[in-house]
C-alpha cells in the first residue's frame, strides 16, 4: 500500500496489518500472526521476539520504496553493523536502534545519504522536509492517540515524509499504527512535539513520479 499524499509505501512492523491493534494494545502474542513468514523471519518465535523492536527497520523499508528487502533481511543487515544488540547471554534482551551504525548501514548497503540528528527541533524537521528529505523521528508510541496526554517522549520511530497541506504540521507513517488513520497521520507541529524526543535520522526522499534516479554510470 502507498500513502495517498506521497509516494512512500505504508508498512507496519507486524506482518498482518489487521492484527496490529490486538498485538500492541490487546496483548496478542505475535507468534500467532498467520502472516509471520512474510516478514522474512525464520520462525514464529523469532518473529514474536523481534517484531516489536523493528519500528526503525520498518521506517527504513518504507524509505527504500517499492522493492525493498523484507523486514528481517533489513534487521540482519543492521545487526551486522551493530545497530542492534541481541544480548542472548543476559536474558535475550534486544537493544537498539543505535543511530550511528544504522546510518552507516543505510548509507553503505542501501546507498542512502543517512544523517544522524542528535539534537533536532520541530522547526529543524520542517527544514529537512522542505529539502526533500524524510525523517525517522523518535517519538513515544502513544502518538497513535494524539487526543490523549503524551505519556512521554521517544522510544519509538515514525517516518515523516512531508509537511501537511496547510504547511503547519507534519505527515508521517507510523509502523505501529492501529488503523489507517494512525498508520498515515497528519498532526499539527505543537501536537507532534509533545511526543517527540528531539532526535532522529534523516534520509533522502523518494524521487517524484516519473523521475528515474541517475546512476553512477550516467
The DSSP code sequence of 35-59 is TGGGGT-SSHHHHHHHGGG-HHHHH
Contact partners, residue 205, CB within 8 Å, separation at least 6: 8, 132, 133, 134, 161
Confirm if 129 and 147 have CB atoms less than 8 A apart.
Answer: no
- Banded pLDDT at 208 (limits 50, 70, 90): low
Distance CA 7, CA 121 (A): 25
Mean pLDDT of all residues in 196-212: 80
Confirm if 22 and 176 have CB atoms less than 8 A apart.
Answer: no
Contacts 24+ apart (CB under 8 A), 127-132: 128/202, 129/160, 129/161, 129/162, 129/163, 129/170, 130/163, 132/204, 132/205
The predicted-structure confidence for 66-116, as pLDDT tens digits, reads as follows 999 999 999 999 999 999 988 655 567 888 899 999 999 999 999 999 999
Q: Angle formed by the axes of helices 99-110 and 71-80, to 10°?
A: 110
* Average pLDDT value over all residues in the chain: 91
Higher per-residue pLDDT: 121 or 210 = 121
The C-alpha R_g of the chain, in whole angstroms, comes to 17
pLDDT of 205 higher than 90: yes
pTM comes to 0.91
pLDDT of 23 higher than 90: yes
If you write DSSP's letter for every residue of the chain in order, what string do you get?
-B-TTSSSB---SSS-GGGHHHHHTT---GGG-TTGGGGT-SSHHHHHHHGGG-HHHHHHHHHH-TTPPPHHHHHHHHHHTTSEEEETTTT-EEEE--HHHHHHHHHHHH----EEESS--HHHHHHHHHTTEEEEEEE-GGGG-TTSPP--S-SEEEEEEEE-TTSSEEEEE-TT-SSHHHHEEEEEHHHHHHHEEEEEEEEEPPPPTTPPPP-TT-
- Banded pLDDT at 15 (limits 50, 70, 90): very high
pLDDT of 11 higher than 70: yes
Nine-digit cell string for 105: 548501514
pLDDT of 144 higher than 70: yes
Amino acid at each position: 500500500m502507498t500513502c495517498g499524499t506521497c509516494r512512500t509505501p505504508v508498512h507496519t512492523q507486524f506482518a498482518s496489518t489487521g492484527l496490529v491493534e490486538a498485538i500492541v494494545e490487546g496483548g496478542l502474542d505475535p507468534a500467532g500472526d498467520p502472516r509471520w513468514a512474510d516478514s522474512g523471519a525464520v520462525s514464529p518465535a523469532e518473529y514474536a521476539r523481534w517484531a516489536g523492536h523493528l519500528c526503525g527497520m520498518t521506517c527504513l523499508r518504507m524509505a527504500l520504496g517499492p522493492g525493498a528487502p523484507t523486514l528481517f533481511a533489513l534487521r540482519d543487515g543492521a545487526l551486522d553493523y551493530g545497530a542492534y544488540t541481541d544480548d542472548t547471554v543476559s536474558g535475550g534482551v534486544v537493544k537498539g536502534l543505535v543511530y550511528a551504525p544504522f546510518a552507516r548501514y543505510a548509507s553503505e548497503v542501501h546507498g542512502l545519504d543517512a544523517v544522524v540528528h542528535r539534537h533536532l527541533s520541530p522547526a529543524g524537521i520542517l527544514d529537512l522536509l522542505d529539502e526533500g528529505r524524510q525523517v525517522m523521528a523518535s517519538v513515544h508510541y502513544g502518538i497513535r492517540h494524539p487526543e490523549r496526554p503524551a505519556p512521554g517522549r521517544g522510544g519509538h520511530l515514525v517516518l515523516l515524509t512531508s509537511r501537511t497541506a496547510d504547511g503547519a504540521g507534519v505527515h508521517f507513517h507510523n509502523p505501529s499504527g492501529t488503523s489507517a488513520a494512525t498508520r498515515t497521520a497528519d498532526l499539527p507541529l505543537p501536537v507532534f512535539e509533545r511526543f517527540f524526543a528531539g532526535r532522529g535520522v534523516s534520509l533522502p526522499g523518494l524521487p517524484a513520479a516519473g523521475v528515474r534516479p541517475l546512476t553512477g554510470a550516467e
